[in-house]
Chains A and B, each alone.
Chain A
Amino acid sequence: MKKVILSIFTMSLFIVSCTDDDDTISPSEPLGAYEDGIIVSAEGGPSSISFISEDLTTSENQIFYNVNNETTGVYLQSLGFEDEKAYIVVQDGTITVVNRYTFEKLATISTGLTLPRYIAFEDDKAYVSDWGDPIDATDDYIAVIDLNSNTVVSTIAVAEGPEQILEESDKLYVSHSGGYSTNNIVSVINTVDNSVETITVKDVPDEMAINEDGDLVVLCQGGNSWNAIGETTAAIVKIDLSDNSVISTLEFPLGDHPGLMSYEDGVAYYILNNGVYGLTDNATSLPTTSLFDIDASYAYGLSVDDDQLFVTDASFTENSTLLIYDIATGTETNTFSVGVGASKIYFN
């Protein structure tokens, strides 16, 4: 009963919050309540997804639960968007397929997944990095999902700890942060024949982007003192995609471990000790001064869009905060309450 009341309450809130938008006459039929805006996923627990309207006037937490009256599992790792659908990747071995505009649940994929991390798309297939049993260094794979049947149709064996996955011109680029251990490679998978090549980078590669020159930019976090490899340097590695060769390796001082990077319009933005730095495509060394500082207890997610920088200041004991900064001035323009352990920011 309480749940019913709660959902009625949430719905009524939603109706109220929508009334503002009704004043502006939309030229076309809206595709759903979450058509234009920011999606923030939170690991949990409990995991959840938040929506913030594009004009930053309204926000709603737990949108998947509000629509479907069920929760996403433990822990929500990432989201992927393809055509009209969003794919919610949860570490418990499930991917939930929803309509990206309404967040209505369409399907669940659970067979063939063990500990999925990130998803990328190519034609009518999705490719999901999966750690397998995290204690086992030799069972990691990329699951290949047929998007028409929503089933895992094959797997591609890869080295330990495949993390972020990015598709470019029929090729998949997978950063191997190493899972529970560490690794120092990027796998290149040819989706035509599923062949795998590897490029050695620095330790613990994680975030990736393709810059305006068409090169792959990889943020390597470096090893920490508690890792088996010990303390090693972090670096931003640039790779020429025509021959998979390393163009440059810009190393951080030993002890610095940048963990978040987002790319827009010729600049790779990264955060180090709450300083926001911008590395331009043509730079030959790392910037020595930050663009501005953010005010976060635990910066856990970063995205840049339209000259605005979005950071999640994550809490794992209560709701997290989404901080929005104007990059030009470095000022904080907005904050929103988002889910527990908020980690990823997407633009719908």
Chain B
Amino acid sequence: MVRIILLFLLLCLAPMVRAQKPTDSIQRLDEVVLSDVKLKRYAHGFKVAVLNDSLLKQSTGSFTDVLRFNSTLYFKENGYGMVSSPSFRGTNASQTAVIWNGIAINSQLTGQTDFNTMNITNFKSVEIRSGGGSVQYGSGAIGGSIHLNNTLSFESHFDNTLSLSYGSYNTKNISYLSSYANDKLSFNIGVNYVDSDNDYKYLNTDQRNENGAFNNGSLNANIGYVLSPRNVLKIYHQSFIGEREFSGTISSTSLAKYDDKNFRTMLEWSHQGDKTFSKLKVAHLQEHFKYYGNKNTSNYSFGKVNTYLINYTSDIKLSEELNFKPILSYNYYEGQGSSFGNPNRKEFSTTALLQYQPTDQWEYGINLRQDFTSGFRSPLLFSFDVAYAVSEYYKLKLNGSKNYRVPTFNDLYWQPGGNLDLVPERSYQVDFGQEISYKSAKLSLNAYYIKTSDLIQWQPSASGFWSPENVAKTQNYGAELSLDYTHHVNAHQFSVHANYAYTISEDLETKSQLIYVPYHKANFNLAYNYQKLSAYFQQLYTGEVFTTTENLSGVFYSVEAYTLSNLGISYALFNKKSQQIDLSLKVNNLFNTAYENVAFRPMPDRNFNFQVQYKF
């Protein structure tokens, strides 16, 4: 198992990607282990960053924290633990696709994914693919996509990890992960429960974060069974049940409460042919929320969407150089809610991905997709990507794409305001990347340009209610820099991981920066390992963001820039071959910085977390 994962990670991270061409057996391995092969095989010209399971497992913080400290993603979080939505490159949260084992899971109501309704420890890896991905992942993949992956391998193993943690604000977390496989059967299960009073102090005031408590439980269970040497059956399942109070602002307390229930189940049958590898997926997703304006009453509003999906794809090896992957997919969405009746939507999509690799240096991808969605005319989508290995150490990547986003159920059907005349948002973009790798150092630099039109925005209408319109045109451009470096001095290992993003995201008419897009965002992670001891220090800088379209600074118009630091130390108390106990202590917001992520919603003061992890 470990070997397979190592191999797999090596493939993802490999500094000299084309130096050794993956053999067919490794390709097959990808296909068996991974549910989302197109991320690996059909994205050579795209920037894909990987957060592997060792990082995810040791994390005691929120998913939001892990991503904002380890990637260029920007999160808008309404106070700690509250709704938290990611964005790439100055686009918005509904232009960010979240992909669970190959299928899109963004809410059909808001178009977004709330990362505080997701547990990080239950995933094998998280991959962050920057740039448009509508051809591969459909509506909403405009800025980029975040991939949450579980893997099922058939290498014999039986591993268990039990983690218990306790921290500030009476935060308790228990998680158990178990993974078993023989050559016929593979399963892994992850159970997690978090409970927090979350009543942190608002620094420089005498207030606390009242009405911010949350608890949630999640379950991930994945099973794979080898029917015959050529046929494998898998089931992926994820449940999340959460209850959150919605904290107010520094000037207004709140009594609101929000309940989430999300269920995702996917059945996958894969068949290995002589020159093809085909997969049939059937999935059911359910999102369900209840909003209580006053938690002390039983009055609530709700929304619920069921998604039924069937997807067929085949990887066809046309020749040594040419791979072809057609995808056919049918999705049916049915919604129900207090404010939008019982809408439904049908969506049929056809996709063709072509990968051509004439030499070891060159890789080309050409991809097309046409969706047929009830109620809309969807544009023909395309993308192309090229990767060129200039030398063993230097690689160039280029991609361009046309992407789109269909209006959500809220946009269309919300009463009052829903607008049935909306058309999909459309976006064109190009992205140019360079990767320099030398030994254990890797530097990547990307520059991009995105132009989006028919952007959907809610505005007050003359009749006195808010309604969405296809109003804005925006352009985004910027640069991203990522650095990874590992250095050994005898048994001491130092590693550095850093990101910087410069982002211009402006309304083409007013030429002003969009709200909640920082010009500058940077993070820096330093990890140290020595025998049983490991430690890390991480810093995050988020530049000032405007909160009104005028681009003025000040309390009423912007959120100040902040620098945040975390420190963690871990010690392997007991380290036998088959058993290990790790103790770790984490200090978040080390310097007790007063900061806000969303205006008037202060974030936590310095806080501590202690974790015991038992692996057997």
Contact = CB atoms under 8 A, between A and B. Distances in A.
B465 interface: yes
Nearest to A9: B554
Contacts of A193: none
A298 B293 CA distance: 28
29 contacts: A3-B555, A45-B599, A46-B251, A46-B600, A62-B556, A73-B248, A73-B249, A74-B252, A92-B248, A92-B252, A92-B253, A92-B254, A133-B294, A133-B297, A134-B293, A135-B293, A224-B416, A224-B465, A226-B415, A226-B416, A226-B465, A257-B464, A300-B460, A316-B459, A317-B515, A317-B548, A318-B549, A318-B550, A319-B552
Contacts of B253: 92
Given A70-B251, A74-B252, A319-B548, A45 B600 contact: yes
Interface of B: 248-254, 293-294, 297, 299-301, 415-417, 459-460, 462-465, 515, 548-550, 552, 554-556, 560, 599-600
A314 interface: yes
A335 B462 CA distance: 21
A65 B253 CA distance: 18
A273 B462 contact: yes
Given A71-B600, A318-B550, A257 B556 contact: no
Nearest to A221: B464
Contacts of B550: 318-319
Interface residues of A, number: 38
A171 B460 CA distance: 35
A312 interface: no
A257 B464 CA distance: 9
The SS class assigned to the B binding surface is: loop
Contacts of B297: 133, 135-136
Contacts of A136: 297, 299
Q: A interface, by DSSP: helix, strand, loop or mixed?
A: loop
A316 B460 contact: yes
B337 to A, nearest CB: 14
A189 B28 CA distance: 80
Given A71-B555, A73-B249, A226-B415, 11 more contacts: A6-B555, A46-B249, A46-B555, A62-B555, A74-B248, A133-B299, A134-B293, A135-B297, A221-B464, A316-B459, A318-B550
A338 B293 CA distance: 30
B556 A65 contact: yes
Nearest to B249: A74
Contacts of B293: 133-135
B27 to A, nearest CB: 50
A23 B417 CA distance: 53
Contact of A73 (B252, B300, B515): B252
B416 A2 contact: no
Interface in A49-67: 61-62, 65
Nearest to B204: A3
B299 A72 contact: no
A219 to B, nearest CB: 13
Interface in A93-136: 94, 114, 133-136
A136 B599 CA distance: 30
B549 A317 contact: yes
A218 to B, nearest CB: 18
A259 interface: yes
A61 B554 CA distance: 12
A175 interface: no
B299 A46 contact: no
Contacts of B299: 133, 135-136
A176 B548 CA distance: 33
A233 interface: no
Given A74-B249, A90-B252, A133-B293, A2 B463 contact: no
Interface string A237-273: 0000000000000000000010100000000000001
A6 B554 contact: yes
Nearest to A136: B299
A94 B556 contact: no
Interface string A295-339: 000101000000000000010111100000000000000000001
A339 B293 CA distance: 26
Nearest to B546: A318
A71 B556 CA distance: 9
A187 interface: no
Nearest to B460: A298
A48 interface: yes
B474 to A, nearest CB: 14
A340 interface: yes
A130 to B, nearest CB: 13
Across the A-B interface, the 6 shortest Cβ-Cβ residue pairs: A73-B252, A226-B416, A92-B252, A135-B299, A318-B548, A71-B251
A225 to B, nearest CB: 8
B549 A72 contact: no
Contacts of A340: 548, 556
Interface in A6-28: 6
A259 B463 CA distance: 9
A278 B417 CA distance: 30
A70 B555 CA distance: 10
A133 B301 CA distance: 13
Contact of B460 (A73, A133, A135, A314): A314
Given A133-B294, A319-B548, A72 B251 contact: yes
Interface in A108-166: 114, 133-136
B49 to A, nearest CB: 33
Contacts of B599: 45-46
Contacts of A61: 556
Given A73-B249, A319-B550, A224 B463 contact: yes
Given A46-B599, A318-B550, A259 B464 contact: yes
Contacts of A90: 252
User: In this complex, which of B252, B254, B417 has the most chain A Cβ atoms within 10 angstroms of its Cβ?
Assistant: B252
Given A62-B556, A224-B416, A257 B252 contact: no
A71 B555 CA distance: 10
Contacts of A47: 251
Contacts of B416: 224, 226
A22 to B, nearest CB: 27
A178 to B, nearest CB: 13
Given A133-B297, A317-B548, A257 B463 contact: yes
Max chain B CB contacts within 10 Å: which of A62, A133, A221?
A133
B556 A48 contact: yes
Nearest to A42: B556
B551 to A, nearest CB: 9
A339 B254 CA distance: 23
Contacts of B252: 73-74, 90, 92, 94
Interface in A286-302: 298, 300
B301 A135 contact: yes
B590 to A, nearest CB: 20
Name the residue in A73, A136, A224 with the highest tally of chain B Cβ atoms < 10 Å from its Cβ: A73
Contacts of A133: 293-294, 297, 299
